[in-house]
Amino acid sequence: MEIKAVVDRIENGYAILKSEDYEMEICIPADDSDSRYFEGENITLLLNGNVENNG
């Protein structure tokens, strides 16, 4: 599965992504001092078929 999203903001150690295709927010680990993610940046997440429930 491919999810295209935009970095909305960085807060509390997470990059908050918004996906218009799925109308949801996605949180991925990111340090505030980490320059890997920038607000407004487009990101594509690729998810494989392995289903695991960690919750």
Who's near 7: CB < 8 A, 6+ residues apart?
Answer: 15, 16, 17, 37, 38, 39, 40, 41, 43
Task: Supply the pLDDT for residue 21.
Answer: 87
3-state DSSP helix/strand/coil percent for the chain, to nearest 5?
0, 50, 50
Task: Supply the pLDDT for residue 20.
Answer: 82
Residue 2 has pLDDT above 60, yes or no: yes
pLDDT digits (tens, 9 = 90+) for 10-55: 888 899 999 988 889 999 998 766 678 889 999 999 888 766 666 5
Task: Supply the pLDDT for residue 49.
Answer: 73
Residue 6 has pLDDT above 70, yes or no: yes
* SS3 call for 18: strand
* SS3 call for 6: strand
